[in-house]
Amino acid sequence: MKNKLLLTLACSAMALSIVQPALSSELNFNAEDSCTLILKQQKQTAGVWAFGYLAGRVDSSLSLDDNQINALTSDLSDICLQSSDATFFAVVEQHFGFITKPADEPEMAADATPDSADPQSLLDKFADGERALSEVLISFKPTPEDVRTVFPEPMASNLIEMYEDMYGERLANEEFPSPYTVGSSNFTTTMGLANDPILEEISGGFKRVTDKFLVDVPWATVKILFPSEDDSMSLHGMIFVNDRWVLMMRPWRGLDD
């Protein structure tokens, strides 16, 4: 039987010494110790701590089991092998993407305003039906950090590669009919999707990933209508993560079957 854990932690790099105080004091766990030492002597504890740290960074609750913990510590061990002198904390930050970003990843403008989790803030992005829909869709491209916040490894890495191709040159050159409008939309949360009626109406593959979400955040589907009455497009997998709406379509394709 899986050992289910629910972590609701408020932590940050500045408050590292008080992250998971009970766990740290009882097991003498210090994330600033060598990653090699920690992953050799306290592997399970290290995995729980890392997920707790992620929960604090995204300010949400994480529901996890032994398989997810083992998968994470395996990935952390791989990173540690490449930098054996690194601290466990540094390895965790590198894995979740809190330190480095791809050189070609655009930075948010200094005066940019974060999105709102309110459904209307998402629908407003489609309000200008004259704006090229390809441009709108590209703006929803999730960053590697977004994907790793929502899905576990190795699923996350598979999806990062897939989305890099999905949001590439082909989409940029796609010419969608104009003007377009929002026909319908449905909103729930990632954890609530499994029990939401919308699950029976969308792509069946979503049923395979309802137990893979690492965080409970807003989730939506939006139907776009084109001038022709018989022409439409459904965007399943709008997710509000890291203060913005992103589109993670067909996430089941990241599964290792």
Picking from 188, 176, 187, the residue whose alpha carbon sits closest to that of residue 225 is 176
Nearest-angstrom CA–CA distance, 76 and 31: 13
Q: Is-contact 248 239, C-beta < 8 A?
A: yes
Q: Number of C-alpha atoms within 13 angstroms, CB side, residue 111?
A: 0
pLDDT tens digit string along 148-164?
A: 999 999 999 999 999 99
d(CA 192, CA 104) in angstroms, rounded, equals 34
Coil, strand or helix: which one is 165?
A: helix
- Local confidence band at 57 (pLDDT 50, 70, 90 cut-offs): low
Left if phi > 0, otherwise alpha if psi is -120 to 50, otherwise beta: which for 255?
beta
Contact 237, 248 (CB under 8 A): yes
The pLDDT value recorded for residue 25 is 36
CB 235 within 8 A of CB 221: yes
pLDDT confidence tier of residue 140, bands split at 50, 70 and 90: very high
What pLDDT, in 10s, does the model give residues 17-40? 323 333 433 345 688 888 888 888
pLDDT at 18: 29
Q: Report domain extents, the chain.
A: 5-96, 119-254
Tell if the pTM clears 0.85, that is, is over it. Answer: no
Closest to 222 measured CA to CA, from 96, 122, 151: 122
In the chain, the N- to C-terminal Cα span, in Å, equals 22
pLDDT of residue 48: 82
pLDDT tens for residues 38-48?
Answer: 888 888 888 88
In angstroms, the CA 125 to CA 142 distance is 16
Quote the pLDDT of residue 106. 44
For residue 3, is pLDDT > 70? no
Residue 164 pLDDT: 95
Q: Is the dihedral of CA 149, 151, 135, 100 positive or negative?
A: positive
Tens of pLDDT, residues 169-226 = 989 999 888 888 888 899 999 999 999 999 998 977 999 999 999 999 999 999 999 8
Strand partners, 240: 245
Tell me which of 6 and 205 has the higher pLDDT.
205
Show the DSSP H helices in 7-141 as ranges: 21-27, 35-41, 43-58, 66-82, 88-96, 119-123, 133-138
